Structures are given as C-alpha cells and as structure tokens.
Amino acid sequence: LCRSFSVNMTSSPLQPPPRKRYRVDPNALSADKNDVDDQKGGYDVGIFVDQNSVANHICTICQCVFKEPMSIGCDEGHIFCRLCLDEFFKDNASKLCPLDQQSVHQKNVSPNKYVERWMGSLQVVCPLQYEKTVNATSNVKVECDWKGCLSDMRTHTREQCGLVLMRCEFCSEDKQRKDMDEHVEMCGERQIPCPLHCSQSVKRRLMDAHIDIECSMKLLNCDDCKESVLRKDMTHHQSTVCSERLCRCTYAHYGCPAMVKTK
C-alpha cells in the first residue's frame, strides 16, 4: 500500500483532460452526479489547507489529488481517480497501466478505501471560493470562509455554500444561493397578487399592463362627469349614476324627442 503513495508525476504517457470550473447543476442540487466535487477527475491541490500532505497523492491522468481513489490492479498498486479510470477504460477494458505499463483489466479495478478514509479527514477550504480566487485578476472578497474535512465538503456545497449556482424556478436564470432570495423577490416571471386586490395573480413583469388594461379595481375617470370610479363599476355608473348621462325628457310620453342630462 505504501508504494502506491509514491507516484512519478512525469512518467504518465497521458495528457491531462481540460480543467473544468466547479459548478453545481442548479436544477438538481441533490443529485450526486451534479455535486460540485463530481465535476472532474480529481481535487485541486489548492483547496487543501496543508498542500504538502497531498503532494504524493496526485493522479497522473488528471494531475489532481485523488478523488474516489481506485487501485488499477497492477503489481505496484498504482492509484487513480475513479472518473479518470472510467474514461481510461472507456474504449477498451484491457490496457496498460499508465505508470508501469503492466497489463491491467477494468474488472480488477477496486476502491482503495484506506486512502479514501485518510483523505476524508484532511482539512480543505470551500472549492467555490478557491475557484473565485484562482480565476480573479485582482483581490477577491472572501464570500465563503468555510473550512472543514474533505468528507464534509459535499454537504457544504450541496446544502450550505452561498456561492453555489441555483436555478430560479420561475425564470430558469442561474443565481448564487446567497442572491436567490433577493432575485426571486424581484423576478419578472414570478406570479404575484395584484396590489389593487382584484383577486388575480399576474407575472411581475406584466403587472403594470394588467393594472392599466384589465384590473377591475383600478380607478378610472368617467369621460362625462370626470368622477373617479372603479373599472368594474364603470358600466353601471355611466348607465344609471353619472350626473352627465343623457336620458329622455320627462315629457317624452307627450312626444318630446329631446335627450337631456340628468343633473
């Protein structure tokens, strides 16, 4: 087992895959395949508080720290990340070990639980905060100061971290968890009750048009008497109440054809 810790980082004939930014699928935060630490082969060395402790635990396929370490089945017991070996054996179940060129078969790959348990106790920082720091061109404000065991990092990113991207259920826009409540409050696609209490709920972005065009509780000015009347009462007002409405002359039954105002 001890021999598996010593890895020659320059001997691998494979090129590391493109590095991916940490990101959570906002549409399924609870699904394991969308967790922030499942987006690439291994862990960035930079997230470890004591980087020297993992210097000899580097996967030579992805050039990152072992994630879900798997023994490839060669005599030397070389270890690689699970996702890296899945990709390695993707086109052929029988291959040569990337480090010592021994014949190996995918069926002989097995989890190295001892190494995984040991690594789970190592202290790490929030991977999303680390990514912001690494990719910044200037000083970055620390927005997540979480620090804990590697074994707890998944729980942190899935349930707690404010930097995790989530998808708004109304407009499908991606926002960080820390900003989601404020976004939802102002989201144009969210249905909100009419502020004039007409009993209708309308998308926020359409509310002004709703009030101007159809809301039954909006006050309108009667075209004739200029009195303010609720839209829902306007027809009744103009036909029976309005002081400027025209009605037949009191002497219409004597034949007067005139239409006169009621006031």
Task: Per-residue pLDDT tens, the chain, 263 aa: give them.
Answer: 333 333 333 333 333 333 333 333 434 343 333 445 555 689 999 999 999 999 999 999 999 999 999 999 999 999 999 999 999 999 999 999 999 999 999 999 999 999 999 999 999 999 999 988 887 777 778 889 999 999 999 999 999 999 999 999 999 999 999 999 999 999 999 999 999 999 999 999 999 999 999 999 999 999 888 999 999 999 999 888 888 887 778 777 888 887 777 76
At which residue do the structure tokens 């998944």 appear? 154
pTM for the predicted model, two decimal places: 0.63
Q: What is the rounded CA–CA span in Å between residue 22 and residue 158? A: 12
Give kind and range of the element (H or E) at residue 131: helix 127-135
What is the pLDDT, as a whole number, of residue 3?
A: 37
Is the Cα dihedral 150, 151, 155, 158 positive or negative?
positive
Q: What is the rounded CA–CA span in Å between residue 78 and residue 57? A: 10
Q: What is the rounded CA–CA span in Å between residue 187 and residue 193? A: 14
